Amino acid sequence: MLNTVPEAVVWAIFLLPISSFVIIGLFARPWPRWCGYITIAVVGLSFLLSLWVLDSVIQEDGRDLAFATHQWLTVGSLTVNLGLTVDGLTAIMLMVVTSVSFLVQVYSQGYMHGDPGYSRYYAFMSLFTGSMLGLVLAENLIMLYVFWELVGLCSYLLIGFWFERPAARAAATKAFIVTRLGDLGFLTAIILIWSQTGELDIPRIQEMAMAGAIGDVILTWLAAGVFAGAMGKSAQFPLHVWLPDAMEGPTPVSALIHAATMVAAGVYLVARLFPIFSASDVAMNTVAVVGGITAVVAASMGIVMTDIKRVIAYSTISQLGYMMLGLGVGGLAAGVFHLLNHAFFKALLFLGAGSVNHATNTFDMRKMGGLRRFMPWTFTTFVIAALSLAGIFPLSGFWSKDEILTDAWDERRALAWVGLVVAFMTALYIGRVVFLTFGGDYRGGEAPSTGSGQAPAGDHSSTRFQPHESPPVMVLPMIVLAVAAVLTGFLNVGEGVTHLLEGWLPPEALERTAKTEFNLGVAAMSLGFAVAGLTVAWLIYGARLLSAETLRRMFGPVHRLLVNKYYLDWLYEDILVRRVLVRGVSTGLDLFDRYVVDGVVNATAWATRFSASRLRLVQAGQLQVYGAAIFLGIVLIVAAILIVNP
């Protein structure tokens, strides 16, 4: 056991990666190799420091380590502090972020090898890691919002990393704007809470909420606004549309940002403000129901996608929905524990997809197949992650999924059934991925494309005919993650994680958490649904006893609906944005501005000139005219005087 971690060390955890960004941006850019090494070293160091934090927090039973707050800005009655929250929740998040980030940075050494944007890639990855760590450490809502937006920025920059590709730049813009739509709610909630309480520090606000100093209506609105932000960032229905498109970014980015960490920030935010959410039934129900809908809707789309990354992306959305569902039924520990397990196995799935892409140059599963023979390591680790995701005992996914289902079973049974259905769908789509990618015979992949940045990693072996295993620098991180995907589930067998995650809660909020008691029936059902899903996948895509083609025809309209993503992209992009906003409202107002507002201006000018040009004719220099005018004037004046003053 070490001494309690000093404050400066905690600051260093997120400032180190940020300084790595600055160093790369200003100085190290011309030496790409070193940019990679700096990032890896710095993130590794953050990981070690996070271990220290974890140790200190365990000694405190997950309670908040009290650190000083520092003033950042004061204006009149407004005080914005900089302060750190370090409790069980933070410590767990720190571990997740630093460990996954470290492994992904190592993997990227192989995946991004030779990319012309190598330095830029590592600069952004450093900035992302630092911002994400800052987000989980922030004690103040404004500070949290700052990092919240910064991780969004990194996501934007990294989705659009290969900006030569039209799809990539469009996806980047879309991601930023859709998440900002959610942030609208978050920012409004911050403004609301400050105007009501004059506080921006989260612990202070929670104290007031617990003491009943904030009205119920305000609390509900506050939670609703915050949840809107969480919905954007964690891609909850109906704001999930940006995440599948975000797969245009390099695959390690998808693994780190769009699977393990940033997209989980919404879940973290709800967990962080759990005392406030739990004080409002409306808020909790909303979280649970939105989570449930998201889980089903996303899983259904995952079943029909042919792009391996998109399937995993929909799976991520679905699993985030699962976490929200868990939080919504009071399962704080269950939701966050699932976040932890999910981070490892989902990052692994993405790294596996990246490895497959490295070998075949495609993400299209119809061109893969049979890869288990060429890529034994990728195959093995991918299957472990897939089984973990499917929730097969005793892999990590099983444990946390079971906790969520148990909590839901006790609190809101309907949602537990939703969760079970999703468990079935999850096993089905991930089984489909495994069989399509690794089973059967190799279907040829795609020729390596030429041109800088066109193909991820721009692989240099154009003479290769057969896919081959990825280099050790990519395989090793995958093995480490696979070990995690097997083991992390056992962490909570003795309720250690739950204890840590609930240690910081005020007693009132602690009362409102779901008490998870192992329920053999639920566990058996969840396992049964998962096995059923895998079996169906095997029947269709493994043994091919059922024809996928026949099924597709049988469910024609449903299939079309799913392939077209419920027509939401079409509704948002073509109808709402392009037709209504741009071509309708904006163009209309632009015309109004040009022809009506400015028209009045020009008409005034014209009227002045016109009347002047006519009046000018009178000024002809003819004395007779002037004399007549003077006479007329006098007559008029005299008449006026006589009328007014007879």
Partner 1 sequence: MLSFIVFFPLLGAAVIALLPLERERHAKWAAAATATVVLAAALGLFVAFDRDETGFQFVERHTWVSADIASFDIQYLLGVDGLSLAMVVLTALLGLVAVLISWNIELRPKEYFAWLLVLEASLLGVFTALDFLLFFIFWEIEMVPMYFLISIWGTGRKVYSAWKYVLFTFVGSSSMLVGLLVLAFAAGSFDIIELGRMDIREALLPTQVIFFLLLFGFAIKLPVFPLHTWLPDAHTDAPTAVSVMLAGVLLKMGGYGMLRISLTILPDVARDASLWLAAFGVVNIIYGALVTLVQTDLKRLIAYSSISHMGYVLLGISALGQVGLTGAGMQMFTHGLITGLLFVLVGLVYDRAHTRQIGELSGLAHKMPMIAVVMVIAGLASLGLPSLAGFVSEVTVFLGTFQKHEALTVLGVIGIVLTAGYILWMIQRVFLGERLPRWEGLSDATAWWERVPLVVMVAVIVLVGVYPAILADIIETGVQPIAERLV
Name the residues that contact partner 1, by CB under 8 A.
71-78, 142, 145-147, 149-150, 153, 156, 160, 163-164, 166, 169-170, 172-173, 176-177, 180-181, 183-184, 187-188, 191-192, 194-195, 581-582, 585-587, 589-590, 593, 597-598, 600-601, 605
Q: Of 74 and 466, which CB lies nearer to partner 1 in the complex structure?
A: 74
Strand, helix or coil at 567?
Answer: helix
Phi, psi dihedral angles at 370 (to 5 degrees): 70, 10
Q: Of 147 and 429, which CB lies nearer to partner 1 in the complex structure?
A: 147
Find the length of the chain: 646
Q: Of 173 and 380, which CB lies nearer to partner 1 in the complex structure?
A: 173
First to last CA, the chain: 109
Q: Of 4 and 79, which CB lies nearer to partner 1 in the complex structure?
A: 79
- Cα 43 to its chain centre, rounded Å, is 21
Shortest distance, position 471 Cβ to partner 1, whole Å: 30
540: DSSP letter: I
What b/e string do you get for 20-46 counting C-beta neighbours within 10 Å, with b at 16 or more? bbebbbeebbeebebbbebbbebbbbb
Shortest distance, position 194 Cβ to partner 1, whole Å: 6
What b/e string do you get for 305-316 counting C-beta neighbours within 10 Å, with b at 16 or more? bebbbbbbbbbb
Shortest distance, position 239 Cβ to partner 1, whole Å: 12
Distance between CA atoms of residues 6 and 192, nearest Å: 34
286 within 8 A of 381, measured Cβ to Cβ: no
3-class SS string, 320-385: HHHHHHHHHCCCHHHHHHHHHHHHHHHHHHHHHHHHHHHHHCCCEHHHCCCHHHHCHHHHHHHHHH
Q: Of 39 and 131, which CB lies nearer to partner 1 in the complex structure?
A: 131
Place of tokens 């976490």: 323
Shortest distance, position 538 Cβ to partner 1, whole Å: 44
Q: Of 128 and 176, which CB lies nearer to partner 1 in the complex structure?
A: 176
Shortest distance, position 519 Cβ to partner 1, whole Å: 44
Instruction: Mark out the alpha helices in 441-546 (DSSP H runs).
Output: 472-487, 496-502, 507-511, 520-537
Distance between CA atoms of residues 21 and 25, nearest Å: 6
Q: What would the two tokens of residue 19 be? A: 């300084």
Shortest distance, position 181 Cβ to partner 1, whole Å: 6
Q: Of 373 and 609, which CB lies nearer to partner 1 in the complex structure?
A: 609
- What angle, rounded to 10 degrees, do the helices at 32-59 and 88-111 form? 160
Shortest distance, position 267 Cβ to partner 1, whole Å: 21
Strand, helix or coil at 114?
Answer: coil
Shortest distance, position 374 Cβ to partner 1, whole Å: 36
Q: Of 554 and 589, which CB lies nearer to partner 1 in the complex structure?
A: 589
Shortest distance, position 148 Cβ to partner 1, whole Å: 8
Phi, psi dihedral angles at 325 (to 5 degrees): -60, -45
Q: Of 54 and 175, which CB lies nearer to partner 1 in the complex structure?
A: 175
Distance between CA atoms of residues 525 and 520, nearest Å: 8
338 within 8 A of 403, measured Cβ to Cβ: yes
Shortest distance, position 234 Cβ to partner 1, whole Å: 18
Distance between CA atoms of residues 358 and 367, nearest Å: 13
Shortest distance, position 261 Cβ to partner 1, whole Å: 18
Q: Of 150 and 347, which CB lies nearer to partner 1 in the complex structure?
A: 150
For residue 272, the surrounding DSSP H or E stretch is: helix 265-272
Q: Of 56 and 197, which CB lies nearer to partner 1 in the complex structure?
A: 197
Q: Of 595 and 626, which CB lies nearer to partner 1 in the complex structure?
A: 595
